[in-house]
Amino acid sequence: MFFSTEGISIFVKKNFRKAKPGEQTIFFLHGFGGSSNDWKDTLPLFGTKFQFIAIDLPGFGKSSKPQKDKFYRTDFLIQLIDDILNELGVSNCAFVGYSMGGRLALHFTNKFPEKVTALILESSSPGIRSESEQLQRKKNDAELISFINASSLEDFFTLWQNQSLFASQKKLPIEKQHALFETKITSNSKTGLTYSLKNFGQGEMVNLWNKLSEINNPVLLLSGELDTKYSAIQNEMNKLFPNSTHKIIEAAGHNLHLEKPQVFVNLVEEFLQILK
């Protein structure tokens, strides 16, 4: 289905049916350059235990790719999620956010804690603590925006996927690597990528490190053994959240649901079942 707001359309994937008593809903948020399609191999592994919502954020996938900053800013994205929940009649749910999507899920939880039954953050962070590092990241993002505008999407995603952060994905079957790359090309645009970086990149967004101790929702932090950067970040986060657990998945990098889908699903299921 498509959800319309302020002249743009947002693609919403859902598997709603008549819910059983106590059945939970999970809202999935993708990472930068991704879409709701990123969860296509993960969702079937949950079987029929949960109801799902997965969206394409503005600028990505099947959603509109407007050339206006406001549609990519934190406040708009938070309100967008709330509006979609209201449209679907969902009063609260668990959130699974990957990387950029995890930052958004965290910001939503900070504003609407009563609407979040649990928060699962996959390879994500609350933002950049240091002002100087944040300014440097903003500068780096501006340079990346210039590169995107001057290059083809193929050149950009070749550069993006060659980051050390994604090195472990080269162990995936070559056919899957090619399919993933083609999906990135066909589901993205220069508009969506550049406006997202400009307005929701880590150099732009407010960091929430000083808010973690105030978030009492149950939190599951998931990181990959090979992703030492985000494993260290989430280890620090785990010390600050009042009610959190940190699990490190062996032989996995940044994108856990892609590299180790069954392990990822098992950990999410186990966490949510305990909360029942």
**Residue 239 maps to which CATH number?**
3.40.50.1820
Q: How high is the pLDDT of residue 273?
A: 86
Is residue 195 one of the residues assigned to a domain?
no
The better pLDDT of the pair 275, 80 is held by 80
d(CA 210, CA 20): 38
22: pLDDT strictly greater than 90: no
Asked if the model's pLDDT at residue 79 lies above 90, the reply is yes
Show the tokens assigned to 245: 């657990």
Domain total in the chain: 1
pLDDT value, residue 242: 97
- Total-model pTM: 0.95
**179 domain-assigned:** no
Asked whether residue 187 is assigned to any structural domain, the reply reads: no
Span 88-112, pLDDT tens digits: 989 899 999 999 999 999 999 999 9
- pLDDT given for residue 85 in this prediction: 94
Residue 75 pLDDT:
97
Strands laid side by side in the 93-98 sheet: 2-5, 8-14, 50-55, 24-29, 93-98, 116-122, 219-224, 244-249
What is the pLDDT averaged over residues 162-166? 89
| Under 8 Å between Cβ of 195 and 67 | yes
The pLDDT value recorded for residue 24 is: 87
For the cut 60, the answer to whether the pLDDT of residue 78 exceeds it is yes
Does residue 201 belong to any structural domain of this protein?
A: no
* pLDDT given for residue 276 in this prediction: 67
Lowest mean pLDDT: which of 10-24, 118-132, 151-165, 260-274? 10-24
| Residues spanned by the domain of 118 | 2-129+206-274
Q: What angle do CA 247, 75, 92 make, to 5 degrees?
A: 55
Output the pLDDT for position 18: 53
pLDDT at 47 over 90: no
Cβ density class 122-131: b for 16+ within 10 Å, e for less: bbbbbbbeee
Establish if 250 belongs to a structural domain: yes
Q: Is 73 part of a structural domain of the chain?
A: yes
Checking if the pLDDT of 48 tops 90, the result is no
Query: Considering the domain boundaries, does residue 171 fall inside one?
Result: no
215, part of any domain: yes
Mean pLDDT score, 240-267:
96
The confidence band for 20, taking pLDDT boundaries of 50, 70 and 90, is low
